[in-house]
Structure 1
Amino acid sequence: MNQARPHMLYVCWGYPPCRGGGVYRALATANRFAEQGWRVTVLTADRETFYRFTGADETLEERIHPDVEVVRVPFEWPILEADLRKWSRSRAANPKLWSKLRTKRDQIPFPETGYGPWRGTIEKAAERIHQENKVDLTVATANPHVAFTAAYHLHQKFKVPYVMDYRDAWLLDVFSGDRLHEPNSRAARWERKLVESAQEVWFVNDPILDWHKDLYPDHAGKMHTVANGFDPDLVPNTHDRGAVVDRPLVFGYVGTVSPKVPLADFVKGWQLAKERSEDLRDAKVKIHGYLGYYAQPRADMLGIINAAADDGVSYEGPVGKAEIAKAYDEFDVQLLMLGKGRYVTSGKVFEYLATGLPIVSVHDSMNAASDVLRGHPLWFPVKDIEDPETIADALVEAAHAARTADEGIRAKAREFGAGYRRDLQLDPRIEALGGVVKVGV
């Protein structure tokens, strides 16, 4: 290996085989640095963590660039331990008190419940990696935000520059727009010193970027929007699709259905739409992904879907990233269902853009995702997410488009989305950082 190449340490909690939403950004970022000639080491949690707590997608591990070295370290999550045989006597005697005390204990090393104790583990691992193979740049991604501490540690001790990569935000509730931590809180003090020392700070959309520029005006120049984008090799080939005239339509959703997603409102709107439109006769809705944040589907969400089975709504379970193109190939219309929030984009919107298929936005019009989709020729936004009637209106319009849109319109839709390829989002920052470390890439 050419030792003249810069060495980037990428610190993240969720990395393949983790199946969480942020894992795609983590995977793509490390891979792109490697593709651009950097030596890359990823510091992450051990594989067992994901099998036990979040669910795992083994197909993602196959997509790790062969030049990326992955260093896995232990992670303990005792508050989620379901095996009663592993509980202490004090926990078994009073679970609520134990949980309260554990939450406080977690935040002693770092103010983040569940993740705080990981700080010592990743700081030691990062230092060991640096001593064995000098790190020229650290990129740490959140959440959890404890990942930033490893980057800060190397900077403080060895002057290694670092990038803070936010998928959402730390002090900002991206759904409500409220501030989550007071200015004098430990979380706020930690973020302030991290931002002050960072080389760059990345955000996934302009609204979140602007919020932080207002919060840290003296450091606005180091802040950048790095949108998620889509991975060209993972989206389906829809170039030969035309109008659907000879079979029932399939509406599809791919992604985690969080508690913020208006699932029940969508189902009501779907039922109304089926009553109104001949285009929706025998139409189906296929929901792929996880119901909730963990491997076990949430019973309330599953109940909503099962209750609408007679209306063609079905839950298809999780889908591996490598098989995701097959899921999209079944869709005639895509459902972008998101929680309400001015600062919410979702990485899924970029994959949807790549297909050229109609998109129904089942989310509040003020979401940042609307900024991305505005101008798309096959975009059908819901006017009032709390009104099932307007959800039905958008579904009916999208169904009509699926029946009538020709290849020319779909080509314009794909052209619209082409600029959101993930590598196009990352490359300008990677090039700039190559200059920072003063090593030829």
Structure 2
Amino acid sequence: MDRQQERVLREVADQGIRFIRLWFTDVAGQLKSVAMDPGELEEAFTEGVGFDGSAIEGLTRVHESDMLLRPDASTFSVLPWQGNATPAARMFCDVLTPDGLQSRSDPRGTLERAVERACDMGFTVMVNPEIEFYLLSRPVTPERLVPIDDGGYFDHVARDGDNDFRRKLVLMLESMGISVQFSHHEGGPGQNEIDLRAVDAVTAADNIMTARVVIEEIALREDMVATFMPRPFIDHPGSGMHTHIFLMEGEHNAFYDPAGEHDLSLTARQFIAGMLAHAGTICAVTNQHVNSYKRLWGGGEAPSYVCWGHNNSSALIRVPQVRPSRRNTTRVEYRALDPAANPYLALAVLITAGLDGIEKQMELMPEAEDNVWALTDKERQVLGIEPLPSSLHDALRRMRTSELVADALGEEMFLYLLRDKEREWRDYREQITAKEIAQFIRMH
């Protein structure tokens, strides 16, 4: 037993923790949880906790159902909303096969493999996400989606719940060891954003999953509903999860070069080139739902075209302006992700795409200096700017041919995702909407 595990056992005893919740996700990114008695924890660290993997979407087949959960002691955190009456804590888990090997269908393990690939190249991958979400008033029905306020970007909304909501959110996350950089009202009514500080990629994905849980828990207690749906409203902005990425070589930011254009190193330019080269084929992972494409092609600042730009919010990849005193924080911002993505798989394919650009020494296309949305199709064609997939169907068609995505996910998960998302597309395509009824049937 290592020191981290021994520390957790001491903390559980000292704080009187009554329940240990073991967290992991299915392939779609749905959080799964099982509670265990603290008395079982030492054995869980050494032997794992058995469960039926065939009951979890995408993990394994029925005749290979036995799986193990191995808690990661470094992720131990007390759950602040549980209170002192029955204190509980959580740990994220890796999913193992019965012989103790990492399961190829574990999303967290998939990201860990991508991170190991970066490590073999001498890099540590750092990520900080910006999570957008809407807060809705209860009751919520398909016919009644009412934001809790009428605010806009950076508005201070008095007499409403979201200022207090964000304060509680930040305090809860920080009590769990998750550092928050900013929180503010976003552009849509009832829309909020919370930006988490940069950490290593696996921790970043864990933090995204934790933030979703905390947001939903606070909303439940405040008689609200929180949604990470990419685009819940026709007339208001969609919710994205802009994701900042940079590579570290030891203590040095590998993306920073004071002699490079916009302070970008050759490594950074090749990493961007890799992400751009594979943007279309990874889209079914970074934007996994039918609704995701209503955000991407819904106007505003949603990225629809494969290009990059310095401080250009219409580009798929933005290179943010960095203050001279903080040039070692040079990074790139991938703007397509939405908050409904499985963060483990989305980061895995993004990292793999960027590393592919470095390994193949890809040349970065010229940057887009104009509002890409305002250009004509002909102007974009001349500039070599291709569109992202316009639908989940289009994204799946492109992903199906991608060796990079198949390699990043592993064959079983790759094929499962294709089947699962093709089913989502078929279900959507069969729906008859109120707009269609109104178009063809007279209501009087």
**Normalized against structure 2, the TM-score is what?**
0.30
